[in-house]
Chain A
Amino acid sequence: MCIHNILSVGLTAILSLGCGNLWAGETIDRQEPTHRYGIGQAATDQEIQAWNIDVAPTGEGLPPGQGTAQEGAALFASRCAACHGATGQEGPKDRLVGGAGTLAGQQPIKTIGSYWPYATTLYDYIHRAMPFSAPQSLSPNEVYSVVAWLLHQNGIIAKDLVLNAQSLPTISMPNRHGFVQDPRPDVPKP
């Protein structure tokens, strides 16, 4: 910031102070500069790669690798079943399998098969946050395999379908069109 700019910002602040009524709770607008502050550092490629783990519905962000439900079965049993049950339905944590046709009922069962709109979200979430006790510990092949097993358990893909960065975004989820925009305020006034 050059001296001229510092002076003009300072002058604006003083003028504003003179006009504003602080005690009435008015705020004084602080002018944004016309240039950047020049704070921070350019991110390196390594820094971006280490954290850029999100996977979009388009498949953007999916890594190389692959897996099938057959390969995922043993992995689910050893790394996931303790919390989600042997078939993904028993809990004690979130139920992952089943629930088709229950969403409009009195006791809806929200699972991957009945509720999740995108298969890509499975990859994103399992990789970033699961297993609960060791998040981000699964390799890409392991994540693809567990995703495949879960989709197969829900009757969405065949047991031998190979999931990878190309095939996963093409999986059509049963509840893909089950979501609507927020219409609130929605309750009529009394």
Chain B
Amino acid sequence: MTRRLETDEPAGDERRPEEEGASLLNRRSLLAGAASMVGTIVLKSMTGSAEAATPVAPDDPTRVPGKIPSPYGQRSAFETATRKLRAQSASLTPLQDSHGILTPSALHFERHHNGVPTINPTHHRLLVHGLVDQPWTFTVDDLKRFPAVSRLAFIECSGNSAIEWRGPTGKTVQETHGLTSTSEWTGVALKTLLREVGASPEASWMLAEGSDAAAMTRSLPLSSVLDEALVCYAQNGEPLRPEQGYPLRLVIPGWEGNTCIKWLRRLKLGRAPFMTREETSHYTDLMPDGTARQFTMIMEAKSVITSPSGGQRIQPGFLEIRGLAWSGRGRITEVEVSVDGGRSWQRAALQDPVLPKCHTRFYLPWRWSGEDVILQSRCQDETGYRQPDHASLVAVRGTNSFYHYNAIQSWQIAADGHVSHVHP
């Protein structure tokens, strides 16, 4: 908060001369405003709660000149939604505070395997080798010269909701579902790059490797990823965020997040999977019979009500039930909402655009009468796949597979309006 106030205050000597005349009064007001803001901060600091300092706004903003333009924007100081950190290696998107389908880049969930590397983009290279005509390297600028492709797509960690197999655990939708986010991703199509290096027809698997301290690697079956995979350098119109793979990441729409290798430095084409740790001892799904499913890449259809959701408190009367649905197999075709614990279902409205392998926003107008009720949503995608309930999912997979939990989520609204996570 303090930093924001300091950096956002215009400095007089940076102003252009033609602004000076008009700005005398303004500057005086600004100085007065700054003084009162500083006063607030000092006061808060003295009480030891500078972090909790409330931002200051004039009683009537029409009587005080506002701030001059800034080189890189910030959200309002009154907005406080943040990612929730989970251990040292993940942070979750605050879905309860989200609107529409896009996730602000600063709130996109994180999952990394040994921290976020600091990479100088001018030194970074992408090496493509193995079964190719000629091993080849590309700079980031090289990649930007190829025809650009942009695509809105969700990325969901395969461990999203993994804490829910044995019963309701997460208290908020951020805790239960916050490892999914949607961005517009821009880059070059993988198939364009592979054509450029002359990929051998014998190549059937591709190793993708990151330039982080885990040198994170996954093997990807070429025939499945070639149509849609992108080597991306941009997210939501600007270069990737460091925690999203700056300066390069692979994006495979609909596939589990760990396959979308961040800080991408190497693609190696081969004839067989490389059997890295991330596709053998990790990211495999243990079944009740003791076998484990391997290369479980697709994130199946899933939906969740984001408002009202766990930890919130609602008032009787009208409210709009809002949520997100998505499927790694294509478009969402239907979302249904139940306000009676799954006994009856109503179709929710889907907000355009409804895009394949992308978050889809749904709405249902509702009037809460003050009774104890359970809200649920369930979705269907264009392949006809229906989101399962918890019991059906556990009946097939048991409770030890950890990854790919996509069961129907239930929020209970108590008579006092408090929303909590339950299994009905």
Taking residues whose C-beta sits less than 8 angstroms from the other chain, chain B's interface range is 35 or more
Interface centre among B270, B290, B293 (most CB of A within 10 A): B290
Minimum CB–CB distance for B26 against chain A, Å: 43
Contact A135 B213 (CB under 8 A): yes
Taking residues whose C-beta sits less than 8 angstroms from the other chain, chain A's interface range is 35 or more
Contact A30 B137 (CB under 8 A): no
Q: For residues 359 through 388 of chain B, which have their beta carbon under 8 Å from a beta carbon of chain A?
A: 385-386, 388
The residue of chain A having its C-beta at the shortest distance from the C-beta of B289 within the complex is: A104
Q: For A125, give its contact among B142, B276, B290, B292 (CB under 8 Å).
A: B276
Contact A178 B138 (CB under 8 A): no
Minimum CB–CB distance for B328 against chain A, Å: 10
Contact A190 B388 (CB under 8 A): yes
Minimum CB–CB distance for A12 against chain B, Å: 13
Contact B277 A124 (CB under 8 A): yes
Given contacts A110-B286, A129-B113, contact A120 B275 (CB under 8 A): yes
The residue of chain B having its C-beta at the shortest distance from the C-beta of A51 within the complex is: B266
Q: Let me know if B30 is at the binding interface, CB within 8 A.
A: no
Q: Let me know if B82 is at the binding interface, CB within 8 A.
A: no
Minimum CB–CB distance for B164 against chain A, Å: 15
The residue of chain A having its C-beta at the shortest distance from the C-beta of B386 within the complex is: A189
Contact with A along B277-297 (1 / 0, CB 8 A): 100110010111111111111
Contacts of B421 in A (CB 8 A): none
Given contacts A30-B147, A36-B196, A54-B207, contact A178 B292 (CB under 8 A): yes
Q: How many A-B residue contacts, CB cutoff 8 Å? A: 158
Q: Let me know if A138 is at the binding interface, CB within 8 A.
A: no
Q: For residues 108 through 161 of chain B, which have their beta carbon under 8 Å from a beta carbon of chain A?
A: 113-114, 125, 127-129, 134-139, 142, 145-147
Minimum CB–CB distance for B301 against chain A, Å: 9
Main secondary structure of the interface of A (DSSP, over half): loop
Q: Let me know if B393 is at the binding interface, CB within 8 A.
A: yes
Contact B136 A42 (CB under 8 A): yes
Contacts of B217 in A (CB 8 A): 54, 128
Contacts of A181 in B (CB 8 A): 293-295
Of the listed stretches A14-22, A68-76, A82-90, A111-119, name the one at the interface; the rest are far from the partner chain.
Answer: A111-119
Given contacts A42-B134, A135-B213, contact A121 B192 (CB under 8 A): no
A99 to B286, CA, bound (A): 14
The residue of chain B having its C-beta at the shortest distance from the C-beta of A118 within the complex is: B275
Contact A129 B215 (CB under 8 A): yes
Q: Let me know if A183 is at the binding interface, CB within 8 A.
A: yes
Q: Let me know if B175 is at the binding interface, CB within 8 A.
A: no
Contacts of B393 in A (CB 8 A): 187
Contact B397 A186 (CB under 8 A): yes
Contact B294 A179 (CB under 8 A): yes
Which residues of A come within 8 Å of B, CB atoms? 25, 30, 32, 36-37, 39-43, 47-48, 51-54, 56-57, 103-104, 106, 108, 110, 112, 115-118, 120-121, 124-125, 128-129, 132, 135-136, 178-190
6 A-B pairs in the complex with CB atoms less than 8 angstroms apart: A32-B192, A39-B145, A40-B142, A56-B275, A121-B281, A179-B292
Listed from nearest, the 7 A-B pairs whose CB atoms lie closest are A104-B290, A103-B290, A43-B135, A125-B277, A128-B215, A179-B294, A187-B388
